[in-house]
Amino acid sequence: MKFEERTLSTEQIFTGKVISMQVDEVELPDGKIAKRELVKHPGAVAIIAITANRKLVLVEQFRKALERTILEIPAGKIEPGEEPQLTAIRELEEETGYRANSFKYLQSFSTSPGFADEIIHLYIAEDLEVVENPAAGDEDEFIHVVEVTIEEAEEMIANERIYDAKTVVAVWYAKSL
């Protein structure tokens, strides 16, 4: 391949609960040597949940990396051995208290290919029903559920209340439905 970089060595520098980090030494296409700092991630799902009255279900939560609260579509990390659709079904219930009678895969995409291998699998969930006793979410996750119209979501993108790429993509998808 014309632009392929060949890995010469890998040094694991961190292993955490969600991610690991490594530094790879690579040979560039012109033969020179460079270092690549990489974040390894198990993958995630994100769900465009649409209510019967055509509102998007969002979750409001504080994001430490940004030092602020933002609105996002429900999402979560894929557990080892878990199929992405099962993760999406689980996360929708844990984060919003909803279950979907119609669940459909849309597409997968990379979030930050310059330094991370995270892939998000995007689903659409419709024909929602409230779960009487929803599964408990993560103990360190504090979430507030918000339902908005597509127009309200677009305004929230413009004023940066919606600030993450997966949710911006989701609003574009939802607008086309």
- Residues 71, 147, 144, 42: is their CA dihedral positive or negative? negative
Q: Spot the catalytic one: 67, 132, 139, 151.
A: 139
Residue 25 among the catalytic residues: no
Give the HSE-up count for residue 3: Cα atoms under 13 Å, Cβ half-sphere: 0
The angle subtended at Cα 49 by Cα 45 and Cα 55, nearest 5°, is 150
Strand residue runs (E) in 41-118: 44-49, 56-63, 68-72, 75-77, 98-110
Q: State the catalytic residues.
A: 139
